[in-house]
Structure 1
């Protein structure tokens, strides 16, 4: 399967970086073709410009600034997100990827605004590897936006056809080395089973 990995963390020595490497190793060991999109390493610009917003509904001209990223998304049969949760949301860089890339003509057809149609129907699998600084109950209390974006919004863009899994490690602020190691192992195993 062609898997697009969307990774977002600025520090190469972070636990997120270790999880990212585990994701890549697990997928490659399973024989998947992996496209590793490291947003920070690639210098992705998360800011939607005034011109982009004005042309947001102008399909296909709206796609020109991001054509390379769009091509990668269209080639993918699966997508794996790997990121930390900051302030109970997506990191700004990743939020910008969603804002700029998932546009009319790419992620959905809005030619009839009363009947918006999903366009990521080629995506068969969606997965996420996510860390949280606070416990699960606190994320739940805050509405857990990252979980909803991955498990609800992304799935909807595939016409609810994609299978979705969400691997979360909560309460990183008090995690022990053995807990982190166990979660990392589980992530690698999950990626090796991705199908």
Structure 2
């Protein structure tokens, strides 16, 4: 594998820092290539601004269209272009972060805001002129996996847990960002109770992470419904015969062998 490891944690001596080092070491020991974007160590700028896209600040700044023009003309800033080149070289993307306030740290969100821009990550068309996304896109053929530490215990993030189901908390990243761009998203590595970890807990988490990393190519991806696979109508709304009577984020995942109906 050619892995891009995207890390968002400010302390290299933290549990996240330990897991990142162990995971990268395991991959390299098996002959895999690993390129790292450690956002805090890089001093990554998470703020979308006119300078990133060579836009004249005297004119109204429409972010999506400005980014698309800059990408097509080669005017995107060097830091953004550097990250896009890493993505292009990778066939596997690992996104590692602590969950803060039910989402990713601001520096990581800013990485996606700036790097995942129109003309590069979305707003693309297929050979017949159709809009592509959700299962097709610039990451088609690549795999992605999230590695997430959680402060609370596992049951807080269960189907009826007070924090909400973790698969729904990660839905914006896994479905709306990675799968939208065409990646096959494998189930995440979750590390609950991270704030109370002992050294033994950390070693056990590292063991699980190493095993999961080395089996990414053979792991079944999350079975999200594809945009152009027939489950959605011309308005991209699920057809009435697909999971009838069901709503919510879960309807966009095939959960049984009869994907058009109820299990």
Determine which structure has greater relative contact order: mean sequence separation of CA pairs < 8 Å that are 6+ residues apart, divided by chain length.
1
Is 1:85 the equivalent of 2:99? Answer: yes
Q: TM-score scaled by structure 1?
A: 0.85
Q: After superposition, give the CA deviation of every residue in 1:142-161 in whole Å (9 maximum; x if it has no partner).
A: 45465223431212211xx5
Corresponding position of 2:196? 174
Q: After superposition, give the CA deviation of every residue in 1:116-150 in whole Å (9 maximum; x if it has no partner).
A: 54532345211121101012343453454652234
Query: Which stretches in structure 1 are left out of the alignment for 5+ residues?
Result: none
Corresponding position of 2:216? 194
Corresponding position of 1:64? 76
Which stretch of the first structure deviates more once superposed, 89-98 or 24-33? 24-33
Is 1:130 the equivalent of 2:122? Answer: no
Task: Give the whole-Å Cα distance in 2 for the aligned partners of 1:60 and 1:5.
Answer: 28
Corresponding position of 1:94? 108
Query: Which stretches in structure 2 are left out of the alignment for 5+ residues?
Result: 54-60, 218-263
Flag the structure with higher strand content: 1
Q: Please report the RMSD computed on the Cα atoms of aligned residues, expressed in angstroms.
A: 2.5
CA contact (8 A) 2:3 2:34 kept: yes
Q: After superposition, give the CA deviation of every residue in 1:36-70 in whole Å (9 maximum; x if it has no partner).
A: 11111111101111565634224240561211111
Q: Report how many aligned residue pairs link the two structures.
A: 192
Equivalent residue in structure 2 for 1:75, among 77, 85, 89: 89
Corresponding position of 2:9? 9
Task: Give the whole-Å Cα distance in 1 for the aligned partners of 2:6 and 2:114.
Answer: 14
Task: Give the whole-Å Cα distance in 2 for the aligned partners of 1:192 and 1:29.
Answer: 10
Match of 2:12, SS state, is coil
Which stretch of the first structure deviates more once superposed, 148-157 or 94-103? 148-157
